[in-house]
Amino acid sequence: MATGAAVEPQSEYKIKSAYLYNFSKFTRLPEKHFSKNNSDYDLCIVGASPFGHFLEPLSGRDVQGRRLSLHYLNNKQAMDICEMVFFTRAEAAQLDKLLRRAVEHNILTVSDIDGFTAHGGIIGLVTRGNRIRFQINQAVAQSCGISISAKLLELGEIIASSREKETFRCSE
């Protein structure tokens, strides 16, 4: 995995799609997460998807012995089916409410909303110069029982939650 990919406007979400797939491969959710009837790895997009057709080739791919399945949700739909959820920028005004709902289910949260990881999200996609990079809030991931590979931790920037957002901790 590259430490950052160059961004061209038309390919921004193609690159972010690849990051989402790699995040699914290099993170481990608690096994109880997969105790539901569905054995798929469910990637959910909350809000109007900016990905266009770039996510579709990921559907059906293998993720940790499970089939990757895509779901497009609005901000009122239940997220309990999701292993990973990507919150679109259009959901920034709802972020507190969405993060509270996600942590109830120990979901890997990802977004490109400004300040996402400092706000209590787990992985934030950021643009630095003309490259897409990622930030990791390891404290929130650990509280959710989500293990992040050393490779991701080495490549990402570790961010702490701001004090007022420390309440975003997953349930045990």
Domain count, the chain: 1
| Domain-located, residue 65 | yes
For 64-114, write each residue's pLDDT tens digit: 899 999 999 998 888 988 999 999 999 999 999 999 999 888 999 999 999
| Domain-located, residue 138 | yes
- In whole angstroms, give the CA distance from residue 96 to residue 7: 29
Note the pTM of the prediction, 2 decimals: 0.89
DSSP label of 18: H
Question: Residue 114 belongs to a domain with what CATH number?
Answer: 3.40.50.2300
* 34 φ/ψ sector (left φ>0, alpha ψ -120 to 50, else beta): alpha
The answer to whether residue 164 scores a pLDDT higher than 50 is no
| Domain-located, residue 170 | no
Domain limits for position 69: 5-165
